[in-house]
């Protein structure tokens, strides 16, 4: 009998060296947990330095963390560095919010972290009293406290009560969402930044009105960079000590080599592939410790590292196999990093996504030719072998992408990890140029965070932002601006009508767009208030000088102060399919075919399609709603509604300016994304029944994907519908999730 053929590659075993297998097993022996060290050392420094300027105070606080936190070297690892006291344990960031720590970690409401329904975290109860003291000191002085005190009442209600816009991640967390200029950094070294900032201070025109602010910036940059150098030196000393005790001569030699590398980088330029990887990891690690935000991304790995890879091969100091193992080692180190937030925020980000994106493939920004190289394939193989969700691997495709690379990408996707994601240069590059990117910068984009494009070392602001709940906004437009769940009415329809009294489909659309305009304004208020509070109290020197060194160091400005070349505030638009399907159902059932009245549909929505005593009954009305044509089936009339409604959001957002407007960067507007993560589930929990046949409190559609179960004509029809959207307007990222059951991948 012939052996049974595996129907898909998910059962294929990874190919790991002994070193990588050892690392993998060691890291996975730890469950995620909560580490209090960062919170303790940060608070210790803040207590002493409240009199200092904001950025200097923050620089000293992070320096205190780097100087005193626990450090260790993972068994068999060739790279040094850790974020917290144990692998996969998350540090705490009390400067952003402590209320959730008090409620959950201390009091277990709604869950203790280790009792959560998902994304559980261990906590050492012996640290409880220490954490209580930290919480007590920060109460009333956190970023969240300042936001609640600064936000207009309507904007706060929009976020907290109605959930038409939710920006909770940026109450509790930092900005993140940038990609450091790693190639520039490891070609120059951190000492270069220190020397440059010292020189800039000595050359300041003290009569200039911004001289003191620039002095604060440069001093904070010097403090931060010197702390990073000391941090690396700590690992050098640790490696030397371990080498002395190590009985295995090969491992002892590796530890001594590690010590030498840590003495050199990141202080001085990297000379080898190994040194560059260690340099990159130190920088990535330190900015993760500074900032609680997600989406701090690596950039175009294959383009950043290819010259040192080729040089190592030619000199005989590197082989393809050793480069692959080092890359896999790098991946596993990245995977050890973790963040923790409240359960309510976690509900929007299930699976602890860090969005540490690493991009390969694409095009050469100068020649516009294919840029795929051997490291592109090594990056894919490293994902296949490590089988970890971080870093988030992205590949860029374009018209001239080699077939071999496409097939290798498909093979890795077939492993079932959801990686890599695929991004289309033919859409993304024009979208960036449409927002003012220079052509070479647009061609040099990487993915930052989930699906958001930007150029490493040039983009400030943030690619992620508020979640815009289109389904909730549509629901309120049908209820004359009233949120039926809370009874709150912040903005009545201009027509003062609801679904029972609209006389035409144009009136329905007008009411929806009216509500949309109002809540887009609320989103802008939320975004800019948060940015203003960050700049005033939590401006971050490492993010500035490592994120955009070529512009921030010259200008003497942080990212929030206008230090980047490009600056946009991104956001996530949720429920695109629900809007198109609901509007089309209203159009067909009430105004075109006259199968229902507005009052009948309204009653069905209010009763969640459950009233069996009406004619037609609630279940019958639900069936009518479900049977109307849906987005995702290549039907122009409904697909055009999706296109037009999403385009309206995108075109409206860019009319709003962010806080960096006229302060230096190109752009400085809000712009649109369809990234969702897992937010479509909690957003559905606040939305009642909708005219597309969706029942109350159930998930809404994710990204720009069809609503689940409604794309009945196969994947090519769904792709055709998605392609009709004006993706060139989605300069903050387009997300289409195509999910296929493994049995179909024969």
Per-residue pLDDT at 465 exceeds 90: no
pLDDT of the residue at 5 = 47
Contacts 24+ apart (CB under 8 A), 213-219: 213/556, 213/561, 214/556, 214/557, 216/53, 216/54, 216/55, 216/56, 217/55, 217/541, 217/544, 217/552, 217/556, 217/557, 217/558, 217/561, 218/556, 219/55, 219/56, 219/59
Give the residues across from 421 on adjacent strands.
394
The answer to which of 22-31, 479-488, 658-667, 734-743 has the lowest mean pLDDT is: 734-743
Instruction: Return the residue matching tokens 């005193």.
Output: 68
- Is residue 538 in a domain? yes
Coil, helix or strand for 422? strand
Backbone angles phi, psi at 556, to 5 degrees: 70, 35
Model confidence at 676, in pLDDT bands (50, 70, 90)?
confident
- Answer for the pair 558, 291: CB distance below 8 angstroms, yes or no: no
What is the mean pLDDT of the segment spanning 263-285? 98
pLDDT of the residue at 348 = 78
The residues near 102 (Cβ < 8 Å, ≥ 6 apart) are 135, 139
* pLDDT one-digit tens code per residue, 122-154: 999 999 999 999 999 999 999 999 999 999 999
Q: How many domains does the chain have?
A: 1
pLDDT of the residue at 7 = 47
- Is residue 150 in a domain? no
- Is residue 585 in a domain? yes
- Is residue 658 in a domain? yes
| Token digits of residue 192 | 């270069």
The residues near 301 (Cβ < 8 Å, ≥ 6 apart) are 358, 359, 360, 375, 379
- Compute the mean pLDDT over every residue in the chain, rounded to the nearest whole number: 95
Q: State the Cα–Cα distance between residues 418 and 735, nearest whole angstrom.
A: 13
The closest of 290, 355, 358 to 330, measured between CA atoms, is 358
Residues in the chain: 746
What is the mean pLDDT of the segment spanning 31-53? 98
Per-residue pLDDT at 193 exceeds 60: yes
- Is residue 88 in a domain? no
- Is residue 11 in a domain? no
pTM of the model: 0.96
What is the mean pLDDT of the segment spanning 659-672? 97
Dihedral, 416, 421, 422, 425 alpha carbons, nearest 10: -170
The number of helix segments (H) and strand segments (E) in the chain equals 30, 14
User: CA of 392: how far to CAs of 301, 332, 379, 691, in Å?
Assistant: 12, 12, 11, 36
* pLDDT one-digit tens code per residue, 489-509: 999 999 999 999 999 999 999
Backbone angles phi, psi at 468, to 5 degrees: -100, 115
- Answer for the pair 612, 619: CB distance below 8 angstroms, yes or no: yes
Model confidence at 1, in pLDDT bands (50, 70, 90)?
very low
Domain that holds residue 648: 467-733
What is the mean pLDDT of the segment spanning 411-440? 96
Beta strand spans in 42-137 (E): 89-91
The closest of 443, 287, 266 to 354, measured between CA atoms, is 287
Q: State the Cα–Cα distance between residues 446 and 456, nearest whole angstrom.
A: 7
pLDDT of the residue at 435 = 97
Model confidence at 10, in pLDDT bands (50, 70, 90)?
low
Is the sign of the CA dihedral 20, 23, 29, 33 positive or negative? Answer: negative
User: CA of 643: how far to CAs of 453, 633, 651, in Å?
Assistant: 21, 14, 12
* pLDDT one-digit tens code per residue, 582-607: 999 999 999 999 999 999 999 999 99
Quote the percentage of the chain above a pLDDT of 90.
Answer: 91
What is the mean pLDDT of the segment spanning 67-79? 98
- Is residue 185 in a domain? no
If 0-12 CB within 10 Å is exposed, 13-18 middle and 19+ buried, where does residue 503 land? exposed
Model confidence at 3, in pLDDT bands (50, 70, 90)?
very low
DSSP 161: I
- Answer for the pair 461, 731: CB distance below 8 angstroms, yes or no: no
Q: Under the phi-then-psi rule, with left for phi > 0, alpha for psi from -120 to 50, and beta for the rest, what region is 533?
A: alpha
What is the mean pLDDT of the segment spanning 247-265? 98
Backbone angles phi, psi at 538, to 5 degrees: -135, 30
| Token digits of residue 595 | 């199968």
Q: State the Cα–Cα distance between residues 484 and 688, nearest whole angstrom.
A: 8
Per-residue pLDDT at 25 exceeds 60: yes
Per-residue pLDDT at 4 exceeds 80: no
What is the mean pLDDT of the segment spanning 310-336? 98
* pLDDT one-digit tens code per residue, 371-414: 999 999 999 999 999 999 999 999 999 999 999 999 999 999 99
The residues near 205 (Cβ < 8 Å, ≥ 6 apart) are 211
Q: State the Cα–Cα distance between residues 612 and 125, nearest whole angstrom.
A: 53
- Is residue 632 in a domain? yes
């Amino acid at each position: 009998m012939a052996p049974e053929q595996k129907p898909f590659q998910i059962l294929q075993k990874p190919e790991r060296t002994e070193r990588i297998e050892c690392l993998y097993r060691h890291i996975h022996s730890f469950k995620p947990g909560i580490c209090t060290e960062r919170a303790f050392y940060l608070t210790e420094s803040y207590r002493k330095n409240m009199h200092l300027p904001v950025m200097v105070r923050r620089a000293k606080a992070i320096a205190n963390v780097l100087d005193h936190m626990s450090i260790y070297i993972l068994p068999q690892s060739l790279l040094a560095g850790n974020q917290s006291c144990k692998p996969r344990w998350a540090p705490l960031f009390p400067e952003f919010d402590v209320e959730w720590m008090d409620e959950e970690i201390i009091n277990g409401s709604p869950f203790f972290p280790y009792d959560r329904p998902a994304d559980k975290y261990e906590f050492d109860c012996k640290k409880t009293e220490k954490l209580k003291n930290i919480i007590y000191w920060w109460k009333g002085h956190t970023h969240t406290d300042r936001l609640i005190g600064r936000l207009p009442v309507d904007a706060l209600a929009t976020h907290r009560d109605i959930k038409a816009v939710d920006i909770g991640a940026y109450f509790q967390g930092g900005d993140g969402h940038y990609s450091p200029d790693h190639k520039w950094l490891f070609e120059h070294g951190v000492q270069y930044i220190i020397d440059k900032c010292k020189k800039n201070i000595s050359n300041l025109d003290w009569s200039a009105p911004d001289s003191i602010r620039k002095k604060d910036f440069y001093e904070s940059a010097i403090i931060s960079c010197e702390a990073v150098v000391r941090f690396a030196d700590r690992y050098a000393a640790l490696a030397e000590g371990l080498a002395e005790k190590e009985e295995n001569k090969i491992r002892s030699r590796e530890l001594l080599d590690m010590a030498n590398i840590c003495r050199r980088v990141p202080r001085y330029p990297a000379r080898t592939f190994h040194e560059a990887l260690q340099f990159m990891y130190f920088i990535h690690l330190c900015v993760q410790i500074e900032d609680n935000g997600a989406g701090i991304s690596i950039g175009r790995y294959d383009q950043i590292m290819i010259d040192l890879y080729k040089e190592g091969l030619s000199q005989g100091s590197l082989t393809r196999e050793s480069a692959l193992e080092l890359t896999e080692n790098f991946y596993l180190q990245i995977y050890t990093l973790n963040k923790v937030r409240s359960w309510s925020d976690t509900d929007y980000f299930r699976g602890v996504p860090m969005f540490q994106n690493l991009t390969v493939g694409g095009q050469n920004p100068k020649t516009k030719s294919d840029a795929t190289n051997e490291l592109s394939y090594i990056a894919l193989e490293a994902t296949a072998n490590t089988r970890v969700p971080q870093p988030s691997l992205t590949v860029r495709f374009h018209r001239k992408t080699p077939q071999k690379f496409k097939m290798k990408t498909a093979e890795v996707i077939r492993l079932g990890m959801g990686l890599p994601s695929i991004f289309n240069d033919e859409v993304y590059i024009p979208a960036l140029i449409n927002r003012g990117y220079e052509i070479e910068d647009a061609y040099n984009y990487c993915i930052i965070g989930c699906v958001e494009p930007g150029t490493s070392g040039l983009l400030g602001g943030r690619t992620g932002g508020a979640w815009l709940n289109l389904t909730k906004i549509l629901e309120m437009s049908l209820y004359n601006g009233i949120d039926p769940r809370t009874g709150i009415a912040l903005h009545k329809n201009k027509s003062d009508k609801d679904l029972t009294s609209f006389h035409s489909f144009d009136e329905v659309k007008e009411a929806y767009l009216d509500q949309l305009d109002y809540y887009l304004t609320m989103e802008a208020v939320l975004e800019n208030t948060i940015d203003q509070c960050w700049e005033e109290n939590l401006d971050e020197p490492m993010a500035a000088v490592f994120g955009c060194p070529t512009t921030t160091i010259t200008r003497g400005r942080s990212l929030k102060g206008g230090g980047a070349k490009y600056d946009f505030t991104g956001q996530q638009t949720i429920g695109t399919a629900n809007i198109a399907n609901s509007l089309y159902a209203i159009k067909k059932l009430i105004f075109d075919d006259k199968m229902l009245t507005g009052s009948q549909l309204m009653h069905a929505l209010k009763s969640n399609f459950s009233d069996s005593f009406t004619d037609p009954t609630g279940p019958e009305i639900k069936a009518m709603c479900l049977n109307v044509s849906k987005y995702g089936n290549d039907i122009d009339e409904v697909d055009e509604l999706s296109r037009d409604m999403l385009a309206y959001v995108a075109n409206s957002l860019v009319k709003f300016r962010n806080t960096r407007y006229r302060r230096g960067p190109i752009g400085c507007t809000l712009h649109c994304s369809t990234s969702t993560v897992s937010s479509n589930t909690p957003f559905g929990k606040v939305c009642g029944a909708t005219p597309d046949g969706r029942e109350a409190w159930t998930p809404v559609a994710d990204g720009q994907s069809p609503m689940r179960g409604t794309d009945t004509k196969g994947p090519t029809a769904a792709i055709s519908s998605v392609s009709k959207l004006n993706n060139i307007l989605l300069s903050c990222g387009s997300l289409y999730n195509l999910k296929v059951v493994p049995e179909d991948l024969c």
